[in-house]
């Protein structure tokens, strides 16, 4: 117990005394009856962009999967390990969710790595580098644009990655079939950490529009 992070102990005790105390009935119901979320959120691992906090959700309301740069890889049943695909499969086939949101955010470290062709691997495995190769063509095209600032390149690829992931969602038969039958909706959004702004993707134009605060 002495080695367990003190901030986690403090956080748990605050959770138990405050949030859990006010929602104990909900937790009991969730434990007994299981979860029935309506929305799957695919978000980034970044500690500054937690979807449960951004959307002020309650327990059992959202099914969340997080990875570096909120990327959905294309459908590829090749026998390898696919964490995001497994979560997607469970959410769609077992939980029967109705909406899928790909949530990107500003100042994403994974996107920054993708835009840095001279960046060195963090380990011999270079897992981040391999993962970010999924955005390789788009990253190269943006990096080669000499008229853009680094900040502009960053934001552009963050938003392109959201569109990319939505298109990859449609490569999964369980998603594309339900969307065609209008039993599932795909959404994209980009969260600006610095300004607390949420920009929502227009499915018809592909543009991002600022969501009014009220």
Are 114 and 157 spatial neighbours (Cβ–Cβ below 8 Å)?
yes
* Higher pLDDT pick, 62 / 1: 62
pLDDT at 77: 93
pLDDT at 190: 98
pLDDT at 119 over 90: no
pLDDT at 12: 96
Which of 46, 42, 86 is closest to 64 using CA atoms? 42
What value does the mean pLDDT of the chain take?
A: 95
Go through the domains of the chain in sequence order and give each one's CATH number.
1-34 (no CATH), 35-210 (3.40.1050.10)
Rounded to whole angstroms, what are the CA distances from 119 to 78, 83, 144? Answer: 29, 25, 16
Q: Give phi and psi for 62, each to the nearest 5.
A: -130, 145
**Mean pLDDT value across residues 121-138:** 93
Tens of pLDDT, residues 51-96? 999 999 999 999 999 999 999 999 999 988 999 999 999 999 999 9
- Cα(63)–Cα(61) distance, integer angstroms: 7
Q: What angle do CA 132, 86, 63 make, to 5 degrees?
A: 95
pLDDT at 34 over 90: yes
CB-based contacts of 149, cutoff 8 Å, min separation 6: none
CB-based contacts of 32, cutoff 8 Å, min separation 6: none
- Cα(126)–Cα(106) distance, integer angstroms: 23
Tens of pLDDT, residues 160-186? 999 999 999 999 999 999 999 999 999
Residue with tokens 């590829």: 76
Query: How is residue 68 annotated by DSSP?
Result: G
pLDDT at 118 over 90: no
Q: Give phi and psi for 67, each to the nearest 5.
A: -145, 175
Are 102 and 187 spatial neighbours (Cβ–Cβ below 8 Å)?
yes
- CA 195 distance to own-chain centroid: 19
Q: Give percent above pLDDT 90 in the chain.
A: 91
pLDDT at 74: 97
Rounded to whole angstroms, what are the CA distances from 40 to 8, 22, 31, 62, 169? Answer: 26, 25, 20, 6, 12
**Mean pLDDT value across residues 124-133:** 93
pLDDT at 79: 86
The structure tokens listed for 138 are 């788009």
- Cα(7)–Cα(136) distance, integer angstroms: 38
Tens of pLDDT, residues 135-167? 999 999 998 888 999 999 999 999 999 999 999
| Sign (positive or negative) of CA dihedral 87, 90, 92, 95 | negative
């Amino acid at each position: 117990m002495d080695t367990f992070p003190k901030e986690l102990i403090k956080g748990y005790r605050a959770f138990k005394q405050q949030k859990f105390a006010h929602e104990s009935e909900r937790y009991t119901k969730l434990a007994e009856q299981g979860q029935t979320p309506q929305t799957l959120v695919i978000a980034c691992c970044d500690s500054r962009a937690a979807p449960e906090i951004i959307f002020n959700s309650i327990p059992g309301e959202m099914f969340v999967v997080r990875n570096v740069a909120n990327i959905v890889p294309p459908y590829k049943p090749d026998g390898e390990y696919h964490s995001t695909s497994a979560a997607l499969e469970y959410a769609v086939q077992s939980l029967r969710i109705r909406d899928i949101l790909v949530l990107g955010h500003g100042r994403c470290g994974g996107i920054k790595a993708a835009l840095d062709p001279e960046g060195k691997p963090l380990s011999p495995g270079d897992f981040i580098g391999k993962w970010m190769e999924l955005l390789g063509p788009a990253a190269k095209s943006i990096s080669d644009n000499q008229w853009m600032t680094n900040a502009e390149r960053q934001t552009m690829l963050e938003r392109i990655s959201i569109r990319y992931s939505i298109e990859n969602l449609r490569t999964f038969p369980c998603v594309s079939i339900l969307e065609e039958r209008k039993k599932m909706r795909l959404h994209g959004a980009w969260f600006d950490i610095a300004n607390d702004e949420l920009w929502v993707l227009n499915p018809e134009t592909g543009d991002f529009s600022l969501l009014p605060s009220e």
